[in-house]
Structure 1
Amino acid sequence: MRIFTSDPVVAQHMPEPALAEQECEACTTEDDPLEPEEYADYRAEIRDDVWTVVDDHHLEGTYTFADFRDALEFTDEVGELAEAEWHHPAIELEWGEVMIELWTHKLDGLHKTDFVMAARMDRIYDDYEPDEGA
């Protein structure tokens, strides 16, 4: 349930929705990449068994699947998400694995949107059910 309020005091004390529920935010070249202390809370909301922050610059994640078909279907869903949000990761597809790199090119570093995308990909993966008939 989404609650809208114009009262700034009430809005200040309302919890922020989970990352996977948030919209991707556009950034400008005037924004700075996130520092570790700034992204620590976001990092806590994405899967530890999938994602690693590399050099405080980008996220690398690896999802595993039973076979190539399942990995390909997941890749297609991630592609749909990327197009919808206009935030495109680097994706490598192999038999039973999908490797993803996320960073904000405009900043040459991490932005909140990278973590939102990672959380949404985690949700796609968690909700994924292989097609038994394939």
Structure 2
Amino acid sequence: MSDLSELKCEACQIDAPKVTEQELVEFSQMVPQWTVENRDGINQLERVFKFKNFKLAMEFTNKLADVAEADFHHPGILTEWGKVTVTWWSHSIKGLHKNDFIMAAKTNQLIN
């Protein structure tokens, strides 16, 4: 499979399929720094990024906002002193879609 970060998100409608168990395993291996968290029955991808200070955390947050807008897929973002928690899931399907793994891979690129 190609690098997830090179793919584009597809429009995700309310009837779009969630990732299968096999896809979940396969895609998770492509973004191993991310964990799957289940909140209120909804699987979400999450990663905490660490920074030396608040300014660097905000710079990362702003870059992430630009990437999210470009693909029209938006994460949960918690920006704090020295860290940013990013959470991806597809709101319309209340779970994980391939788009979430694509965006996790794109998020990883912001720190490389």
- TM normalised by structure 2 equals 0.90
User: How high is the sequence identity, in percent, across the aligned residues?
Assistant: 37
Partner in structure 2 of residue 102 of structure 1: 88
Deviations for 1:2-51, whole angstroms, at most 9, x for unmatched residues? Answer: xxxxxxxxxxxxxx320011111112222221133222111111142xx1
- TM normalised by structure 1 equals 0.76
Q: Normalized per residue, which structure has more strand?
A: 2
Partner in structure 2 of residue 130 of structure 1: none
Which one scores higher on RCO, CA 8 angstroms, separation ≥ 6? 2
- Cα distance, 1:68 vs structure 2: 0.8
Partner in structure 2 of residue 89 of structure 1: 75
Unaligned runs of 5+ in 1: 1-15, 127-134
Kindly report the root-mean-square deviation, in angstroms, between the aligned alpha carbons of the 2 structures. 1.3
Partner in structure 2 of residue 10 of structure 1: none
Aligned length in residues: 109
2:9 matches 1:37: no
Unaligned runs of 5+ in 2: none
Give me the whole-angstrom Cα distance separating, in 2, the residues matched to 1:119 and 1:47: 10
Give me the whole-angstrom Cα distance separating, in 1, the residues matched to 2:45 and 2:51: 20
Deviations for 1:76-133, whole angstroms, at most 9, x for unmatched residues? Answer: 000001111110101000011000111001100000000000000001112xxxxxxx
Structure (1 or 2) with the larger CA radius of gyration: 1
